[in-house]
Amino acid sequence: MEYSVEILWNNCLKVIQDNVPENAFRTWFTPIRPLSYENNVLTIQVPSQFFFEYLEDKYVDLLRMTLFREIGNNTVLNYRVLVENTTNTMVNYQGEIKSFGVDRITPKEANKAPSPFRKSMPQNFDSQLNPKYTFDNFFEGESNKLARTAGLSVAQNPGKTAFNPFFFHGHSGVGKTHLCHAIGITIKELYPEKRVLYISAHLFKVQFADAGRFNTINDFINFYQGIDVLIIDDIHELAGIEKTQNTLFHIFNHLHQNSKQLILTSDKAPSELNGVEERLLTRFRWGLTTKLESPDKKLRLNILKNKVLHDGLSIPDDVLEYIAEHVTDNARDLEGVVVSLIAHSVIYNREIDMEIARRVIGQTIRKIESKKMSITDIEELVCSHFNIKSGLIHTASRKREIVQARQVAMYLAKQYTDMSFSQIGILIGKKNHATVLHACKTVKNQLEVDKGFRHDVEQIESKLKF
């Protein structure tokens, strides 16, 4: 008897619910949507890259056991991941091969990322812009004044200002993505006939890889050369990927020569981007390069007041003042604190006051500070502790001591930074996310059984914390 994918997945959920706490089940399994079951491949949709990585890290054994029990021993799990939670852009990933103990079984189209270049471009094609990110709620402060002003100028005259390309950079949460969408949305309002496309560098490289596998490179290039305003977010994710950079170089040249607007963001200035070809970096500097700094107190307070007003919340002014004073890094942390305050208020059934604010912010600041460590800092401490040259962990060496140092560095990077498995892999040895995931699991397992190894890692951690 054949069952629908919904019935199969609901049967799996009953088993999973019996094996995890209720709050964990609601958080990590209720949002999953079953999409299809074909050729022994079960495809499920998850909300984000982080969601996918968390499931693979924490619940892969439970998922494997459940699928084998309810569907069959040769079942393969395929994730469909929303690349940006505010759009319908998707990327597919399979569950870890070793975890499922079977060969990869993939339908012809199973691992393809969305490829708009595979069809003729419609007049109303999806620009992948989020309408909630506008200039109206991108508040101006000293930290972003130049970038915001230049962004407005670009939006009013795309391709016709000296700001082409427009390259802005800054650390996570300072508003780079918000500004990208605000510019794109304004251009669409002023010039509805223009083809505006927002895309993450991650999705760009996945699409290019798919185009190579399916022999559609020319279609890929033709599609992007037909864009009027190309916005690529997080361009640093192309570091070390030469073929993708080479294709971007030709697309960049074509668009720029034809007065099409290019907008690029990164976590670093062009001069600090390691692993990106110099000829690309030179072009990135052709227009305007500017940095988005962390918001000052006045801007932080403005952001908080707007969120409270927009969401219809009730938070006293002295609490907002306290948050703005103590949460200083970026706007994303500010919003996270507000969400935590609301959660505490609901759970403990009490009004938000300074006592709750101090408790929440004390926890939040410790968490934020623990995530500020850089990959370079971690690499140096790990290599120093194990007495090896730092550059060796970036090589393909399989010597035991080098492999161990590389795995420890990956494990600590996951613990002490907010980077994804994919980002860590690119920066440490140009590895893929599966390699980093395997490294983290190996280290965790060894920590449980090897006291000497555990002592080594604890010593490194003690240096990271001070």
The tens digit of pLDDT for each residue in 312-351 reads 677 888 888 888 887 766 777 777 788 788 777 777 777 8
- pLDDT for residue 99: 35
Which pair of tokens denotes residue 216?
Answer: 């559609």
* 3-state SS string for 98-113: HHHCCCCCCCCCCCCC
pLDDT band of 124, cuts 50, 70, 90: low
Question: Contact at 8 Å (CB) between 196 and 125?
Answer: no
The residue ranking higher by pLDDT, 25 or 309, is: 25
Contacts of 101 (CB under 8 A, 6+ apart): 64
> What average pLDDT score do residues 151-179 get?
92
**Structurally, what CATH architecture does the domain formed by 375-464 represent?**
Orthogonal Bundle (1.10)
**From CA 10, how far away is CA 20, in angstroms rounded?**
15
pLDDT band of 159, cuts 50, 70, 90: very high
- Note the pTM of the prediction, 2 decimals: 0.54
What is the rounded average pLDDT for all residues in the chain?
A: 82
Which pair of tokens denotes residue 387?
Answer: 């007495």
pLDDT band of 102, cuts 50, 70, 90: very low
Question: Contact at 8 Å (CB) between 133 and 101?
Answer: no
**From CA 21, how far away is CA 363, in angstroms rounded?**
23
- 347 — phi, psi (to 5°)? -65, -45
Tens of pLDDT, residue by residue over 411-442, are 998 888 877 888 888 888 888 888 999 999 99
Helix (H) or strand (E) holding 77: strand 76-82
Homologous superfamily, domain 145-291: P-loop containing nucleotide triphosphate hydrolases (3.40.50.300)
* N-to-C CA span, the chain: 61
Question: Regarding beta strands 41-46 and 33-38, do their DSSP bridges make them parallel or antiparallel, or are they unpaired?
Answer: antiparallel
pLDDT band of 95, cuts 50, 70, 90: low
**From CA 138, how far away is CA 182, in angstroms rounded?**
8
Task: Map out the domains of the chain as residue ranges.
Answer: 5-103, 145-291, 297-370, 375-464
Report the candidate in 28, 98, 78 with the shortest Cα–Cα distance to residue 435: 98
Find the range with the poorest average confidence among 52-56, 120-124, 170-174: 120-124
Tens of pLDDT, residue by residue over 445-454, are 898 888 889 8
Q: How distant, in Å, are the alpha carbons of 16, 49, 447 from that of 59?
A: 10, 15, 19
CATH fold of 5-103, please?
GMP Synthetase; Chain A, domain 3 (3.30.300)
**From CA 449, how far away is CA 331, in angstroms rounded?**
42
Which pair of tokens denotes residue 17?
Answer: 């619910």
Q: Does domain 297-370 have CATH number 1.10.3720.10?
A: no
Find the range with the poorest average confidence among 320-324, 360-364, 400-404: 360-364
Per CATH, 5-103 and 297-370 having the same topology is answered: no
pLDDT band of 86, cuts 50, 70, 90: very low
